[in-house]
Structure 1
C-alpha cells in the first residue's frame, strides 16, 4: 500500500510541475498576444484558444497538490469551536463528502471524456483542440483529489481518539 501512495504522491508532484509549466505558457502566450496585437498589428488566432486550455490544465493539475497538503478552501470556524471529539467526526464527514463528490465528478468526466474521444469532438474555436483533453485533465484532477480525501479520512481514523480531558 505504501508503494501505491508514493506513486500517487509522485504523480501529483509531476502534475503540479505540469501546472507550473502551464502558468509559464500562459505568461508567454499572453505576452505574445499583446506584442502581436499592439506592436505588430497582427494578433494570433491560436493564443486565446490555447490559453483557455492552459487555464484548465493549471486548475486540474494543481488541485490534487492542494488537497494532498490540505491547502484547499475550508471554512472551519464552526468546527474549530466544537469540542475535539465532535470536531474530529465532522472533519471525517467532510473528508468522506469531499471524496464522494470528487469521485462522482471524476466518474462523470471520465465517461464524458470517452464519449468526446470516440466522437472526435473538438472545441468550438479558431484552433481545433480535442475537447477530451480538457475533460481528461478534469477526470485526473478529481480522481486524484478523491483519493487524497479518502487517504485523509483513513489517516484520521487511525489517529488516537481524544481522551475525556481533551474534550473538557
Structure 2
C-alpha cells in the first residue's frame, strides 16, 4: 500500500498546482478585464477545469489522512465499543459510496472517450480526461476507506 500512499501524495501536490493555476488565472482575468479592458474567453473555462482537478486530486490524500471535516458528537457520546462499530460502518459506507461513484464516473469517461465528446465551451476540450480524473480520485478514496476499515481495531 506504500505505492497507493505515494500516489495519493503526488495527486495532492497536483491539486496544489491546480489551486495555484486557478488563483493565477483568476487574478489574470480580473486584471485583463478591468485594467486593460481585454477580457479573455478561455481563463474562466481553465479555472473550472482546474477546480475539478483540485478537488478530485486532493480527495485521496485527504481521505488517507482522515483530514475531512468530521462532526463527532455521536461518536463521543457512545461507548468505546459502539464508537468502533460506528467508525467501521462509516468507513464501509464511504468506501461503497466513493467506489460506486468512481465506477459510474469511469464508465462515463469511457463513453465520452469513445464518442469523442467535447466540453460545451468557447474553447472545447475532450471531456473524458476531466471525467477520468474525477473517477481516479473517487476510486482512490474508496481504497483508502477500505484500508481504514481494516485498520479500525477494538
Instruction: Give your verdict on TM over 0.5.
Output: yes
1:144 & 1:73 partners in 2: Cα distance?
18
**1:42 counterpart (21, 38, 42):** 38
Q: Tell me, yes or no, if structure 1 residue 29 matches structure 2 residue 61.
A: no
Correspondence for 1:165? none
Mapping of residues 21-100 of structure 1, within 5 Å:
21-100=17-96
Correspondence for 1:130? 126
> TM-score scaled to structure 2, two decimals?
0.97
1:44 & 1:58 partners in 2: Cα distance?
22
1:142 & 1:136 partners in 2: Cα distance?
10
**2:107 counterpart (111, 115, 118):** 111
1:136 & 1:61 partners in 2: Cα distance?
11
Larger Rg over CA atoms: 1
**1:75 CA drift (Å):** 2.1
The number of aligned residues is: 154
Task: State the Cα deviation string for residues 134-165 of structure 1 (Å, max 9, x = none).
Answer: 11111011001000000000111xx3x3xxxx
Moved over 6 A (4+): none
**1:88 CA drift (Å):** 0.3
Give unmatched runs, 5+ long, in structure 1: 162-168
Alignment root-mean-square deviation, CA: 0.8
**1:120 counterpart (106, 113, 116):** 116
Residue aligned with 1:75, SS? coil
Q: Tell me, yes or no, if structure 1 residue 102 matches structure 2 residue 65.
A: no
1:19 & 1:49 partners in 2: Cα distance?
17
**1:73 CA drift (Å):** 2.4
Q: Tell me, yes or no, if structure 1 residue 10 matches structure 2 residue 6.
A: yes
